[in-house]
Structure 1
Amino acid sequence: MTTSLPLHYVGRDSSNPNGEARPLLVLLHGFASYEQHLFRHAGLFDPQWPIIAPRAPLRIGPGAYRWFYFTRTATGPIIETEEQHVSLRLLVVFLEAIRDQRKPRQIFLLGHSQGGSMALSVLMTRPDLIDGVVNVNGRIVPNNAASPSADSRLRGFPVFTRHGEDNPIVPLPMAHRTRDLLMQHGVSIDYRDVPNIGHGFTPEILADSSQWLKDRAETRTAQPVNDAPLR
């Protein structure tokens, strides 16, 4: 689907569109992937939830896009900070537009790899836009510490994280540092190391996250809107 929004996306509507506002799930793919990578698993999530899957803005090649470039090293990836900042700004504008146009009851982000890192970047900078994050094999990138205005909103914020014990791209210590930083901010995190998935994900992880999302949607009160500029 091509729109005037800053990111190309695909989506599905609620199976029961009766005018009632419903939670919206936004799927964020990883490096060298595209919007269908997670969207093809949309059937694992509540059919009454509309789903949107945007494409990262930076093209690598046919069917391959990125949120930011990175260099692989022995201790983990070193990212291109400026690319990440530009992509984050585009993603924030996209989420603001989707919120204003569709007026969902809540917005939840689910990201894999770089998509997980982007979801966590939104959490750390604009938590007012979202109501929960599912992160699979992503991590908080450098220079995305919570701003003072965002920090108070992080207390009790729900985050679901699964990370491969044998992850060769984002080593486990990086995931543990992300977990510990989120806990320092008072985030309510459901964290688990998962064996034998490397840097990938499984349908079982997505199914578990689907139940977690339904539980959070039933209990979480939508946060007040804060249109402060991205810091």
Structure 2
Amino acid sequence: MLETLEHETRSNPDWCVLWLHGLGADGHDFAPIVPELLRPDWPALRFVFPHAPVRPITVNNGARMRAWYDIAGFDIASRQDAAGVAQSVGQVAELIAREGERGIPPERILLAGFSQGGAIALAAGLQQPRALAGVVALSTYLPVAEATVAASTEAGRGTPVFMAHGSQDPVVPEQLGLMSRDRLRGLGVQVDWHSYPMAHQVCREEIDALATWMQARLVA
């Protein structure tokens, strides 16, 4: 089981937001976003921020860092680490199962991620046997697309997705995000797409749009 950082907005949370960080970061990276997202009428939430395993990254001369999978070259869409992606998808499934043991079923779990974490969120969300409340994929793309699509489930394809990307992103080009969006929509996935004039980052407008999207799922 991955090590995690957790924050509960109130005791006895009814919902969980499972948030995956990007390459080289850790679970602390997006913890500060919690107060910026919250709305007063939301139910009690448990935010879970897992730390990815430490592994060597080929594109960084084999330097060891926290990562959900290896990056073999600067063209991140080629020579993808299918084994690493599959391992991380399995670890996310374990975290989802643990929330079930703590009383929060998949339909009350939002799976979110940024960059590499967003890629795993998309892949894991598509492969779940039971639909999640939603998937949030920021500045990212659908990894090992053919295998991920082949492993997708009816429940996964029925899970709504929020995607946002920077139009000036030099790390994960927006075109990769757009291609992934179109691939998901071709599977029948409901994708809410947002583009912002920014680089590989998040912005205030993006957080506000995400909060509005989450509101629709958290408050019936």
- TM class by shorter-chain length? 0.7 to 0.9
Deviation at 1:71, TM superposition (A): 2.5
Write the deviation string for residues 106-145 of structure 1: whole angstroms up to 9, x where unpaired.
0001110011001101112116152101111111111211
Write the deviation string for residues 70-108 of structure 1: whole angstroms up to 9, x where unpaired.
123357464222112112111211211122224256000
Q: Structure 2 counterpart of 1:33, which letter?
A: A
The reply to whether residue 7 of structure 1 matches residue 2 of structure 2 is: yes
Q: Structure 2 counterpart of 1:52, which letter?
A: V
Q: Secondary structure at the match of 2:148?
A: coil
Distance 1:141 1:106, change over 3 A: same
Q: Secondary structure at the match of 2:48?
A: strand
Q: Secondary structure at the match of 2:181?
A: helix
Show the counterpart of 1:205. 206
The reply to whether residue 123 of structure 1 matches residue 125 of structure 2 is: yes
Please give the residue correspondences for 1:1-231 in structure 2 after superposition, counting only pairs within 5 Å: 6-15=1-10, 17=11, 19=12, 22-46=14-38, 48-59=44-55, 64-74=65-75, 76=77, 78-103=79-104, 106-126=108-128, 128=130, 130-142=132-144, 143-147=147-151, 150-151=153-154, 153-155=156-158, 157-195=159-197, 197-219=198-220
Q: Structure 2 counterpart of 1:55, which letter?
A: H
Between the aligned partners of 1:80 and 1:153, the Cα distance in structure 2 is 22
> Percent identity, aligned pairs only?
21
TM-score scaled to structure 1, two decimals?
A: 0.80
Query: 8 Å contact 1:67–1:114 — kept in the other structure?
Result: yes
5+ residue gaps in structure 1? 1-5, 220-231
TM-score scaled to structure 2, two decimals?
A: 0.84
| Range 112-121 or range 85-94, more displaced | 85-94
Q: Structure 1 counterpart of 2:22, which letter?
A: G
Query: 8 Å contact 1:39–1:53 — kept in the other structure?
Result: yes
Deviation at 1:214, TM superposition (A): 1.6
Query: 8 Å contact 2:128–2:156 — kept in the other structure?
Result: no
Between the aligned partners of 2:76 and 2:56, the Cα distance in structure 1 is 24
Deviation at 1:180, TM superposition (A): 0.7
Write the deviation string for residues 47-82 of structure 1: whole angstroms up to 9, x where unpaired.
732211111123469994100111233574642221
Q: Structure 2 counterpart of 1:35, which letter?
A: G
Q: Secondary structure at the match of 2:26?
A: coil
5+ residue gaps in structure 2? 58-62
Query: 8 Å contact 2:15–2:104 — kept in the other structure?
Result: no
Between the aligned partners of 2:199 and 2:129, the Cα distance in structure 1 is 29
Distance 1:75 1:128, change over 3 A: closer
| Range 166-175 or range 35-44, more displaced | 166-175
Between the aligned partners of 1:99 and 1:79, the Cα distance in structure 2 is 31
Deviation at 1:173, TM superposition (A): 2.1
